[in-house]
């Protein structure tokens, strides 16, 4: 019994961080706003069902909110609950805000004192956190971006400028200008460069009220572009991931990248 438990635990531990993907997501209360200083409130969670918080809150420690003028702004009323994290954002500027949880770190496994160990953290802490006599050290760089967009007034693009790190979505169609029955075009970039052959999952929210996930897969073309036709209005979850060996950390041999966005499609 005990041995079985140990084996199971080990199997769990060795599973890649984002292997059996529970879906991670941010869900804004609305994406198109107007008024003197409208507020949005955002749920952040990890779950199988979209967009229901029934599993785990998404940590919002690494929240990065870019205001329309390109500056970073702070979320208000941050709270981590049992199943979801929540924060509010007053939209003091007109234009589009890019709201993201970005985790940019490393995952390491190694042996020390005859035991297999795992560690997650920041690249700069590797030297202090991992014993110098560790053997079989394997370091994976891990960049995850989970984001959504909200607009006060007319959509703007300053806040959508790529950071050049990890997977990002470059708008051809503005992410807050999506309507049912229309086709949107986006470009996916990895480290700022168009990424071809990326498989992108697209799932509409409300999965609790239907029998299937109804997931569609689109693949980026040679220019990294995808087209998505929105059949009906609602919140959509799009996600993709990839791995390569283009690491920015000397100890890391491989790199795992993932990207998730929540997009609202409005009725005509």
- Using CB under 8 A as the criterion, which residues of the chain lie in contact with another protein when the complex forms? 32-38, 151, 153-155, 177, 179, 266-268
The least distance separating another protein from the CB of residue 174, rounded to whole angstroms, comes to 11
Specify the residue, 114 or 267, whose C-beta has the smaller distance to another protein: 267
Shortest Å, Cβ 228 to another protein: 18
Minimum CB–partner distance for residue 189 and another protein (Å): 27
Q: Which is nearer to another protein, 30 or 227 (CB)?
A: 30
Residue 165 beta carbon to another protein: minimum distance, rounded to whole angstroms: 31
Closest to another protein by CB, 44 vs 67, is 67
Are the C-beta atoms of residues 103 and 121 closer than 8 Å to each other? no
Residue 154 or residue 181: which is nearer to another protein going by CB?
Answer: 154
Q: Please, what is the minimum distance in Å from the beta carbon of residue 36 to another protein?
A: 3
> Which residue's CB is nearer to another protein, number 31 or number 140?
31
The distance of closest approach from Cβ of residue 37 to another protein in the complex, given in angstroms and rounded to an integer, is 7
Backbone φ, ψ for residue 158 (5° rounding)? -55, -45
In angstroms, what is the C-alpha Rg of the chain?
20
Nearer to another protein, 34 or 138 (CB): 34
Q: Do the Cβ atoms of 145 and 258 come closer than 8 Å?
A: yes
């Amino acid at each position: 019994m005990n041995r079985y438990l140990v084996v199971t635990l080990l199997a769990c531990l060795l599973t890649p961080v984002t292997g059996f993907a529970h879906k991670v997501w941010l869900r804004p209360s609305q994406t198109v706003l107007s008024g003197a200083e409208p507020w949005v409130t955002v749920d952040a969670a990890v779950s199988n069902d979209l967009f229901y918080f029934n599993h785990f809150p998404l940590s919002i420690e690494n929240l990065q909110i870019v205001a329309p003028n390109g500056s970073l702004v702070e979320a208000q009323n941050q709270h981590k609950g049992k199943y979801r994290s929540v924060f509010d954002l007053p939209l003091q500027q007109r234009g589009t805000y890019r709201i993201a949880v970005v985790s940019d770190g490393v995952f390491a496994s190694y042996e020390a004192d005859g035991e297999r160990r795992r560690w997650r953290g920041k690249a700069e802490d590797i030297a202090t956190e991992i014993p110098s006599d560790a053997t079989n050290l394997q370091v994976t760089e891990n960049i995850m971006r989970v984001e959504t967009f909200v607009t006060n007034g007319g959509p703007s693009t300053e806040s959508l400028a790529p950071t050049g790190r990890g997977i990002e979505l470059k708008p051809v169609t503005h992410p807050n200008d999506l309507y049912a029955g229309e086709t949107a075009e986006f470009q996916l970039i990895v480290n700022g460069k168009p990424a071809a052959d990326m498989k992108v999952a697209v799932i509409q929210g409300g999965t609790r009220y239907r029998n299937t996930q109804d997931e569609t897969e689109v693949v980026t073309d040679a220019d990294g572009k995808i087209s998505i036709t929105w059949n009906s209005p609602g919140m959509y979850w799009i996600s993709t991931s990839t791995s390569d060996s283009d690491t920015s950390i000397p100890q890391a041999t491989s790199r795992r990248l993932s990207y998730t966005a929540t997009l609202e499609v409005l009725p005509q």
